[in-house]
Every structure is written in C-alpha cells, then in structure tokens.
Structure 1
Amino acid sequence: MSGTLQRRLVSKNGHNNVKIDNVEGMVKLYLHDIWTTVVDIKWRYKLTLFVCTFLGTWFIFGVLFYLIAMSNGDLGQTPESNHTPCVMNVGTLTGAYLFSLESQTTIGYGFRHISEECPLAIFTLVVQLVFTGLAEIFVTAAFLAKLARPKKRAETVIFSQSAVICWHRGQTCLMVRVANMRKSLLIQCQVSGKLLAPYVTQEGEKILLHQEPVDFRLDSSQECPFLLLPLTFYHVLDENSPLASLTEENLNSRDFELVVTLNATMESTASTCQSRTSYLPQEFRWGYDFKPLVFSTPGGRYITDFDHFDEVEKRNEPLLLQNVEMIKLQMEEEYRKE
C-alpha cells in the first residue's frame, strides 16, 4: 500500500466518509422524518429556517388580513364614514403586515385591532396564534436539541494520532491513548474497535470491507469507571486477535483500517455520547510506547501536559527480542515448578 492513497471509512476526527448516492425518493424520506432532518442540518440552514419561519408567517397572515379587509370593503374608507372595518386602521398591505407581526409577537400597540363585527378576522387571528405557536415550539426545540447533542460533547474527547505496538504486561499489545478535554467526567467508558479489511469468502465472494471486532482493555477490564486522566487502552495481539498475523515487516504492506470507538455517559446530563477515530497501517508505530504526560507537583496536584499526548518513544530493545526473552523466562519458571 505504500505510495498509494488508502481511503478511510472514518476520518481522524470521527466523521464518516461514506457518500450516499442514487437513493430513490431521498427527499421524501427526509421529509417523513422532518424532526431529525431539521436537527441534523447545518447551522446556516437552521438560522435561515428560523428567520423564514417568522417572516413567512407574518407575511402570509398579513396578506390574509389584507384580503379580509378588501372583501369587507375596508380599503379607501374615510374616517368619518359609518362603516366598521374588520381590522381597524388597516388600509394597506404594509398595515396588514404590521398587524400580523404585532399579533404574533403579542406587542399589541392598540392602534390596529380587530372589531367585534368580523368573525372571519377573529377566526384568522386564532388560527395564526395556534399555528405560529406550534411552529415556534418546533423551531426552538430544534435549536435546543442541536445545542444539547452529545455529538458536541464527543468532540472534546481526543485520540492519539498514532497507535503503538509494544510489549505490555508480558504480551504483544496494540495501544491507543484517549483523553477527556473537559473537567466534567465521562463515566462508564468503554473502548471498542472494528477492523475493516478486504476479504474473500470460501465461495469466492469479495467483500470490500469485512468487519471483525477488536476488543480493547484497560488493565483487567473492558470498562473504566470514569475518564479523568488520559488513559491508554490496549488490545492483545494473541491467536484470537484479527491482527494476529501482523508483524513489523508486513505492517506497511497490509490493507486495513482500524476504527476505534469510545462510548461513555456524560455525568452532567446522564446522556450517552460516542467519539470515533480510525488508524491506517502507516499510523501504527511498531516497537514504540507513549511518553508519560501526567506529572505530580510538590503541592500535591497532578498536571497533564498535552504537549506530550501524541509523542512516542522507542523501546530500548526490539519487540521481538523482548518477546523471546519473556517466553524464555516463562519456560524457566514452569521448569522450576515441575
């Protein structure tokens, strides 16, 4: 794979790189789930929708009031006449628009108002207040939902730019580093992975992205109670691992993508969030380990220096020699026990 561009399913910042194309009735599908569509759209479109909702309803009902005034013969009447208009002091479309705006925003200057002798105008006002009230609730709720989306919280969780493979706890391990950039805790954190690689079945079927689970652990469990300090999660490259055949020699020639996902619960809101990243073979560092980034101070506090977050250091001995030496020590220990 060296010298060629390898595509990603998931970008480094967690966004998916899948383009959906040639879907019949896409607009209809989006309109059926209008709530999710409005929440997912970009902020510039959401602000446009917010402004158009108010301007549109003001203008539409202003036109209706103007038509009611026209049908009732209110236009062109002199103040001295005995004719009672449907809407007082509305003689132009601009006046009708201002009356619609004042009614919907409950400004109510008192200069323009509905008379008691025009039921149609009263009914139109009631419909306007009910309809625009529902529209305002929908648009406002969509704003709050987008602001409170766990996706924004997930953006404050970062992964190391590279993954390292080294000797850890007597085994060859693949390790990634994860950190929470906020002081508010993430609880019940769990890191999992998916290995995406081309695969050919026994029947000869070619699968472009075959998925295999990659389990990550922290010390002796797959979950950590909370993410306070930057933590290093590791995956053991044993015979059960989908990366068991990975070596330093064939690393750069392999074709795969490792997608790493962090699922956690926000302590402040109790809602769940998910953060993702991915690693290509050229982003693996064989025989390296992460540099320490947590230090203690004389005052009894801990400091996390994120200048060292992505820094790695070479192990003193090659990984292969470490593996052989550890195996020898284990065999000697078993021999003594016998």
Structure 2
Amino acid sequence: MFKHLRKWFFTRFFGCTRRRARLVSKDGRCNIEFGNVEAQSRLIFFVDIWTTVLDLKWRYKMTIFITAFLGSWFFFGLLWYVVAYIHKDLPEFHPPANHTPCVEHINGLTSAFLFSLETQVTIGYGFRCVTEQCGTAIFLLIFQSILGVIINSFMCGAILAKISRPKKRAKTITFSKNAVISKRGGKLCLLIRVANLRKSLLIGSHIYGKLLRTTITPEGETIILDQININFVVDAGNENLFFISPLTIYHVIDHTSPFFHMAAETLPQQDFELVVFLDGTVEATSATCQVRTSYVPEEVLWGYRFAPIVSKTKEGKYRVDFHNFSKTVEVETPHCAMCLYNEKDARAKVRRGYDNPNFVLSEVNETDDTKM
C-alpha cells in the first residue's frame, strides 16, 4: 500500500514517471498533425466537400448549417427588395391604385426577407405572392426554389450521415484497460479482452494488431513508427467472430514474435506502442466500422491473467459481469519466452534420452581373440 502511495505522490508532484507519446489514444483517436501542407493541397479538401463536411465537428457543422439557410434567405430577400425597388412597388414611390406589383405586399426589406423565407422553405402563407407582371420575379422564384432544394438536401443529408456514421457504433466496443502476458495452452501469450456492449452483432469481425516502434535499418536509416504485424487469434480463429459475449484474444509469443526477446524485467524499459484493430460490419446498417485502441509498455502486465467474467444464472441465462472486465489475477509465469521454450526443449531431450543423467557409459576392456 505504501509503495503505491509513494509512486502516486512522486508522479503527481514531481513528475518522475515519463509520459510516453501515443499515436493512438485509448478511445481510438489518432494523435498526429500535418505540417507545412501546401496551399494547393488544402484546396483538395474543398473539392471533396462532402467528406470535409462530414469530418467537421458538430459545432462547426451546425454553424455552417445555420449560416447556409440564414445567408440564403437574407441574400434572396435583398434580391426581392431590389426587384420591388426597380419596379417601383415600394410605398415610398406612391404607386397608383391600378398598379400591379411584381410581388404582392412587399413593403420593405423585412417583408422581402419574409417572402424569401416562405419561398425557399415552401411555407406558402398565401399573403405574399408573385404576379405575372415581370419575368424577372418569375425567374428569381424558380432560381431560389431550385437552389433551396439543393441546400436543403445537402445540409440535411450531411446531418443525417453524421448521425448514422458507423463511428458511433464503434463507441459500444470496448477493450480491456491493460494487456496481460501469461501461459495459455502451454504457450506464452499476450492477451487482450474485448467486449461488444450491444446485443446486435458485428458481422465478419476481424482482429489484428500493429506494433509501432523506432527501428534502425542495417543501412543506418532511423524509421520512426515502424509497423510490425501482430497476429491475434481466439480459439475459434480470428475471422468471422461470434461476437455476442466478451472475447479474450491472444498473440502467441514464439520465435517470430517481436515480444520473444523481452522479459518481465525489461518490458517497462521498452519503447513501443501496440495498436489493436477490430473491423466489422454493423448488422443494422450494413456499414463497416473500425475500433482502435493502444497499449504502451506500462499497460502490459507480465504474469497476470484476466478474471472470469461470464457465468450462468439459475434461470439458465448467461450473465456477463463487467465489474471484472479489466480485472487481472496474478499467476505463475516464466519471466521470458526464451526460458519457457528452453525448458520445453530440455524436457523433450530428456524424453528422447538426450542429456539423461541416469545414463552412465561404462568402459569395457577389449581382448584380442585373434591372438594364438
């Protein structure tokens, strides 16, 4: 207890613990920025305006939404006012009694704005209307109606697409806080627990990982964020997971694994980031989504396993206790992968008779039977 309090005290007030930089946060956001992007490259974002609007944050999207409608209403309100002014329909011109205006009951800028709003959103109160007196007003009515439909379709479609993006479905997929390393099936494995918080399935789910670290090539080139594939499997395979209950995925630490030369004592000093991906298709919308999380060396616990989480009730139902979702239990584990495999090789040699201490070679004096 005192050890943990001392560690927290020094971390909190003296900052003794080094904070590692992460490319991917625990909730899947990427910590990266682009610098010195040319101005011509920035214009590409406006060419693909649909994706740009979808990627905007809600506060910017709602600002564009409100500005697009209010701006178009006010702009066409000015045009309607200009048409009434040119045609001398305003009261300050004192039109005669038999005068037929382009638009009935436009008396100023306010009434012109109200007529623009009624035209574009097709409210149609019936008090103000276009007459057949001037073709300019008819053309302006047609143009505003078409442009209003385009603005309405684009902005409402962007809002609907933003709400229904599969990115929100990914929020209901959660990973364990820590990864653990322990024996599983006689092999040393790195294990991670993942759960689906909804009862609807992710169809065709696929889990894989990337180990990010800085490497130096034989030619002396330093590669930052070098990516190494990490294969994760479950007992039924890593393709088309039946993702109705929490799963424990594991990576076998063998001779081809980048964790093979690590040990329990050297793991905290390592500099890497393990990024785990889960791809799947949302059952309700048939849209694909991806869930991401990452683990740094401090979040990988050597010599632990996950506590049980699934039980069966008296009513015959299966109950998932998420209180134990990230809870770990310490177990006996070899302090390195090489030790485990060396121990297995030694046992195999004993079974085959190699290096058997019970086998003693006794010398035999040979006699010359051919001597007469």
TM-score clears 0.5: yes
Conserved 8 A contact 2:279-2:288: yes
| SS across alignment from 2:65 | helix
The alpha carbon displacement at 1:307 in A equals: 0.6
Structure 2 residue aligned with 1:61: 76
Question: Is structure 2 residue 334 aligned with structure 1 residue 287?
Answer: no
**Alignment partners' CA distance in 1, 2:75 and 2:164:** 32
Question: Is structure 2 residue 176 aligned with structure 1 residue 160?
Answer: yes
Unaligned runs of 5+ in 2: 1-15, 354-372
Equivalent residues in 2 for 1:42-57, closer than 5 Å: 42-57=57-72
**Alignment partners' CA distance in 1, 2:226 and 2:317:** 46
Conserved 8 A contact 2:264-2:335: no
Structure 2 residue aligned with 1:228: 244
CA RMSD after TM alignment = 2.0
Corresponding residue to 2:86 among 71, 75, 80? 71
Letter of the aligned partner of 2:51 in structure 1?
A: T
Equivalent residues in 2 for 1:245-284, closer than 5 Å: 245-284=261-300
Corresponding residue to 1:97 among 77, 100, 113? 113
Structure 1 residue aligned with 2:37: 23
| SS across alignment from 2:20 | coil
Question: How has the CA–CA distance of structure 1 residues 118 and 54 changed in structure 2, closer, same or farther, with 3 Å as cutoff?
Answer: same
Mean CA deviation greater in 19-28 or 211-220 = 19-28
Letter of the aligned partner of 1:244 in structure 2?
A: F
Equivalent residues in 2 for 1:1-338, closer than 5 Å: 3-25=17-39, 27-76=42-91, 77-78=93-94, 81-316=97-332, 318=334
Superposed CA offset, 1:164-216 (max 9, x none): 00011111101100000111111221111111111101110111111110010
Superposed CA offset, 1:67-124 (max 9, x none): 0111111112557522211111102000100111111122212211111111100100
User: Which of the two has greater strand per residue?
Assistant: 1
**Alignment partners' CA distance in 2, 1:169 and 1:253:** 28
Conserved 8 A contact 1:198-1:210: yes
Mean CA deviation greater in 33-42 or 220-229 = 220-229
TM-score normalised to structure 2 length: 0.85
**Alignment partners' CA distance in 1, 2:346 and 2:124:** 89
| SS across alignment from 2:241 | strand
Letter of the aligned partner of 1:56 in structure 2?
A: G
Larger Rg: 2
The alpha carbon displacement at 1:47 in A equals: 1.4
Letter of the aligned partner of 1:7 in structure 2?
A: A
The alpha carbon displacement at 1:222 in A equals: 2.0
Question: How has the CA–CA distance of structure 1 residues 330 and 288 changed in structure 2, closer, same or farther, with 3 Å as cutoff?
Answer: farther
The alpha carbon displacement at 1:45 in A equals: 1.4
Mean CA deviation greater in 265-274 or 162-171 = 265-274
More relative contact order, 1 or 2 (CA 8 Å, 6+ apart) = 1
Question: How many residue pairs were aligned?
Answer: 335
Question: How has the CA–CA distance of structure 1 residues 295 and 168 changed in structure 2, closer, same or farther, with 3 Å as cutoff?
Answer: same
